Amino acid sequence: MKDELESILKNTNISISCGRKALLELAGRNDVELVMNGLVGAAGMEPTIEAVKSGVDVALSNKESMVMAGGIINDLLKTNSCNLFPVDSEHSAIWQCLKGENNCEIKRLILTGSGGPFRTKPKENFSSITLEQALQHPNWDMGNKITIDSATMMNKGLEVIEAYWLFGVTSSQIDIIVHPESIIHSMVEFVDGSVKAQLGVPDMKIPIQYAITYPHHSPAQWESLDLEKMGALHFEKPDLDKFPCIRLAYEALEKG
């Protein structure tokens, strides 16, 4: 494929690169203002590191980067005087709630999650779940991997680890609450008992745009949140018996 493209473009000034090496070279360019990493899975870690090494700000949608190498990336951010802007809706929400606040006044971070497509399905019926059912998220339109991780709530466990590295809190300061409507994207409770929350329609365009335009909120070209239409918001504890991946994520974080 590469040879064919190079042949087609041989009389142009367009160059063709492919593979892991090309990806790292692209992420490591220092002639850009921002690198957006939206890669899926472990493949996103090295490009994040390369971008930070180049001193370029990173808008990070690839949570695995922080899960696998959060300590390394945080050290590199300090060394290279650049910033990391979270794109995950939950972490973007916390980031916005903490704007202008002192981290020493945080009591806890509250990550919300819809509970996925099997929130109300009895555990004894899990053996009959099909791939097609697991790929039907009730609120979000996402790629296959994150949709499956959301169905098992492993995604929420990974987000706990990501929040630990992003916001400098302890694992005991990170809680999960199931919020089926996916309108409150996350919350921060402070030591005085006050709580700040970030709300919006479940649309990834919003946190993506904010990471790109930070520190500004640009005018929206999409649906606004209508609380009157919503009517009510609901919350419940996650069922760790049905979704043990959450517990495993906390255990992994505490063991390092």
Task: Give me the CATH number covering residue 44.
Answer: 3.40.50.720
- 215 with 253, same domain? yes
- 157 with 249, same domain? yes
Are 117 and 136 contacting, i.e. CB atoms less than 8 angstroms apart?
A: yes
- 179 with 223, same domain? yes
| Between residues 220 and 72, the one the model is more confident about | 72
- 41 with 144, same domain? no
**Gap between the Cα atoms of 165 and 69, Å rounded:** 9
In the 8-state DSSP scheme, what is residue 236? B
- 228 with 251, same domain? yes
In the 8-state DSSP scheme, what is residue 126? G
Cα torsion angle, 241, 244, 250, 255, sign = positive
How much is the average pLDDT of 69-94?
Answer: 98
Residue ranges making up the domain that contains 124? 87-256
How much is the average pLDDT of 28-52?
Answer: 96
Q: Which of 51, 86, 121 is the last residue of a domain?
A: 86
> How many C-beta neighbours within 10 Å does residue 171 have?
15
- 152 with 228, same domain? yes
Cα torsion angle, 115, 117, 119, 125, sign = negative
- 82 with 198, same domain? no
- 92 with 80, same domain? no
- 183 with 67, same domain? no
> How many C-beta neighbours within 10 Å does residue 141 have?
9
**Gap between the Cα atoms of 94 and 112, Å rounded:** 11
Q: Which of 86, 101, 117 is the last residue of a domain?
A: 86
- 105 with 208, same domain? yes
* Domains of the chain: total: 2
- 142 with 256, same domain? yes
- 108 with 58, same domain? no
**Gap between the Cα atoms of 176 and 180, Å rounded:** 13
Q: Which of 69, 86, 103 is the last residue of a domain?
A: 86
Residue 174: pLDDT above 80? yes
| Between residues 221 and 188, the one the model is more confident about | 188
Residue 256: pLDDT above 90? no
Stretch among 25-29, 174-178, 210-214 having the lowest mean pLDDT: 25-29
Confidence band for 17, pLDDT divided at 50, 70 and 90: confident
Residue 1: pLDDT above 80? no
Q: pTM (2 decimals)?
A: 0.91
